[in-house]
């Protein structure tokens, strides 16, 4: 595959490359054409949510003609519902822990959709804080709770903040005498630490720990969003902390990056190859994604709103043109030579018609450095859902088992 950006109509996305997806017409279209069905089935991004929580909120948004998720005006419509659910859960904690946990998680889902598509204001930051508070209330009720852990950013430079917030979940029998394998889960552009209960349950069921972290440029991650190497410093601090803890089997650490986090996982597979047993880049943009030709079209695809404002702020550019004109030289794993480094085992997985991060970016990596493993799901959008995880977990099990 050529490093040159594919010309018009030569992307694997085909005719869809030029389409503006219909849910972007406004909040009514978003609800009716994209979100109502997954909400009714508790599918992504509505895990743990209830249709009856969201339908009246979106009806109110439609009636008030609030069409941008980037505004505090949008976010405020969700807060009464979330606060009501937290209050109901608080009343049940002493009598029915399971019911209370379920209500807290419903509230967290409402808070999550409220802070979509990007935490870009003080108010949305406060909503994220409220979500985290509700989430830890739920997690404290579980047999194996998730702990809100803060560690020192020992590899930080003056451009990075301190400390590093993590969500950590250990199997009951994990100890220094019986260290457990672990998954370092790198979150995405809008999916953050409290949005991964199902994944941490899957890891726990296999006897693995979870270490969940927000990626640079999102939520409360302390890494410098403008510096590609800030991520390397972040992973170094986390892995060093894990090694000192003694409860993690440092020979069996896999990192899994989700969407924008997929870029970080692919990068870490190369920069930290000697410290990882494996890495998964799911829905990863690595080279073509950062080109102007792609970004001008990708902003109008399956992301719930125009993706360009969130991406521009995530990577720390002054405006959209600055991002589209300059991002590839700074962030491309090909142009910067990262892909020529030795890699640990690396699985690339995505849908073939991903309109946010091109499937070409996963395929391209097969032409560089160490051999890669790939699984692409035909006719599926960004991340390759719903089938993707059915391939990820067996791959992880095989990697964990293969380490001597």
**Whether residue 40 lies in the annotated active site:** no
How many Å apart are CA 172 and CA 305, to the nearest integer?
41
How many Å apart are CA 388 and CA 379, to the nearest integer?
12
Q: Which two tokens stand for residue 214?
A: 């927000």
**Whether residue 153 lies in the annotated active site:** no
**Whether residue 160 lies in the annotated active site:** no
Identify the CA nearest to 359 among candidates 15, 11, 20.
11
Q: Which of 259, 332, 343, 362 is catalytic?
A: 259
CB-CB contact of 358 with 294 (8 Å): yes
Q: Which of 153, 192, 272, 382 is catalytic?
A: 382
Would you give the distance in Å from CA 79 to the centre of its chain? 23
CB-CB contact of 90 with 84 (8 Å): no
Quickly count: other Cβ atoms within 10 Å of residue 143's Cβ. 6
Left, alpha or beta for 385 (phi > 0: left; psi -120 to 50: alpha)?
Answer: beta
| Enzyme catalytic residues | 259, 354, 382
């Amino acid at each position: 595959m050529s490093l040159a950006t594919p010309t018009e109509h030569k992307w694997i996305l085909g005719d869809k490359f030029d389409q503006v997806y219909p849910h972007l017409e406004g909040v009514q279209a978003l609800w009716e054409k994209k979100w109502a069905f997954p909400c009714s089935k508790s599918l992504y991004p509505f895990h743990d949510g209830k249709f009856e929580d969201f339908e009246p909120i979106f009806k109110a948004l439609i009636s008030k003609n609030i069409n941008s998720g980037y505004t505090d005006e949008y976010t405020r419509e969700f807060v009464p519902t979330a606060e009501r659910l937290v209050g109901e859960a608080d009343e049940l904690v002493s009598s029915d822990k399971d019911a209370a946990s379920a209500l807290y998680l419903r509230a967290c889902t409402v808070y999550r959709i409220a802070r979509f598509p990007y935490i870009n204001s003080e108010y949305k930051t406060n909503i994220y804080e409220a979500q985290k508070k509700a989430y830890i209330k739920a997690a404290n009720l579980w047999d194996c709770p998730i702990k809100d852990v803060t560690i020192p950013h020992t590899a930080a430079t003056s451009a990075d903040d301190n400390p590093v917030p993590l969500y950590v979940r250990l199997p009951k029998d994990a100890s220094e005498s019986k260290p457990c394998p672990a998954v370092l889960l790198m979150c995405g552009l809008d999916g953050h630490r409290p949005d991964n209960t199902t994944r941490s349950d899957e890891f726990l069921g296999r006897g693995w720990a979870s270490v969940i972290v927000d990626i640079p440029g999102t939520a409360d991650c302390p890494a410098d969003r403008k510096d590609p190497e800030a991520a390397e410093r972040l992973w170094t601090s986390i892995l060093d902390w894990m090694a000192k803890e003694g409860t993690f089997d440092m020979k069996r650490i896999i990192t899994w990056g989700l969407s924008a986090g997929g870029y970080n996982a692919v990068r870490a597979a190369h920069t930290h190859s000697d410290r990882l047993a494996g890495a998964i880049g799911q829905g990863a943009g690595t080279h073509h994604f950062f080109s102007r030709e792609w970004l001008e079209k990708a902003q109008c695809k399956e992301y719930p709103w125009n993706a360009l404002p969130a991406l521009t702020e995530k990577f720390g550019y002054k405006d959209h043109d600055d991002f589209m004109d300059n991002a590839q030289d700074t962030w491309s794993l090909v142009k910067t030579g990262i892909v020529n480094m030795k890699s640990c085992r690396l699985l690339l997985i995505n849908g073939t018609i991903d309109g946010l991060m091109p499937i070409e970016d996963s395929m391209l990596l097969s032409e560089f450095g160490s051999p890669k493993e790939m699984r692409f799901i035909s006719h599926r959008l960004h991340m390759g859902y719903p089938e993707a995880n059915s391939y990820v977990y067996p791959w992880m099990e095989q990697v964990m088992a293969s380490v001597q």
